[in-house]
Amino acid sequence: MLHRMALILLVEDDRIITAALSRALTDAGHVVRPVGRAADALKIVTEERPDLVILDLGLPDIDGTDALRMMRSVSDVPVIVATARRSEADIISLLSAGADDYVTKPFSGGHILARINAVLRRARSAVDQAPPEIVVGELVINPRQRRAELRGQPLQLTRREFDVLAYLAERVGQVISRRELMNEVWNQARIGEEQTIDVHISWLRRKLGETAAQPRFLHTVRGVGVMMVDPR
């Protein structure tokens, strides 16, 4: 049972589904903000900071997967995707794009509520258990506020970039395998391609002002994984 209600952004253009889901979520004690377009959802995510988003993929203005990526570029809000797609490749693509969980249509109110409760518990537990601050050389990370600074300047990180950086920074000097990052950061034991990790590490390096050839913080251990190093 959750200790407090959540503000849930429901992004769904089908009025019948919206009405049924809104009723189920409201009856469960949540506040529901329904919208039918991805553009409206992106604005609300940045301005109203909901606790969780339920995102339908079949939206009239923007493809749902593209909307998810856009959302991830501006917010770390937990997202549950509602989709009719059932193939493993589609699900892997959604999780790689930043979804925290998914439900396949059709689904019951009880099913979506159980998923919502599980995702909110994980998100709140991660905040409660996070250390107040991690310092690695000139890099300062605040997991609770989800902020990172390098030499006093804020880093503009996506949700996944921040999660990877914080996970590595908490384990300075340890070699972390791609599999461990997939398990612990993506919460997926079999997400498919290791390329996803490599891409995020590459993006992080760029924002940290380093390269694979001349690393300062992120050192690749060939054939194993990556290690965060304190350059002091």
Each domain of the chain, given as residue ranges in start order, spans 7-128, 134-228
Residue of 54, 58, 65 whose CA lies nearest to 109 = 54
What is the rounded distance in angstroms from the CA atom of residue 151 to the CA atom of residue 66?
Answer: 33
**From the centroid of its chain, how far is CA 193?**
18
Secondary element (H or E) of residue 195: helix 195-208
pLDDT at 202 over 70: yes
pLDDT at 98 over 90: no
pLDDT at 123 over 80: no
* pLDDT of the residue at 2: 41
Per CATH, which fold does 7-128 belong to? Rossmann fold (3.40.50)
Secondary element (H or E) of residue 226: strand 225-228
Which of 30-34, 62-66, 213-217 has the least mean pLDDT?
62-66
Per CATH, which fold does 134-228 belong to? Arc Repressor Mutant, subunit A (1.10.10)
Encoded tokens for 83: 């989709």
Q: What value does the mean pLDDT of the chain take?
A: 85
Which of 66-75, 128-137, 219-228 has the least mean pLDDT?
128-137
Residue of 108, 93, 73 whose CA lies nearest to 188 = 93
* pLDDT of the residue at 173: 95
Number of H helices, E strands in the chain: 8, 12
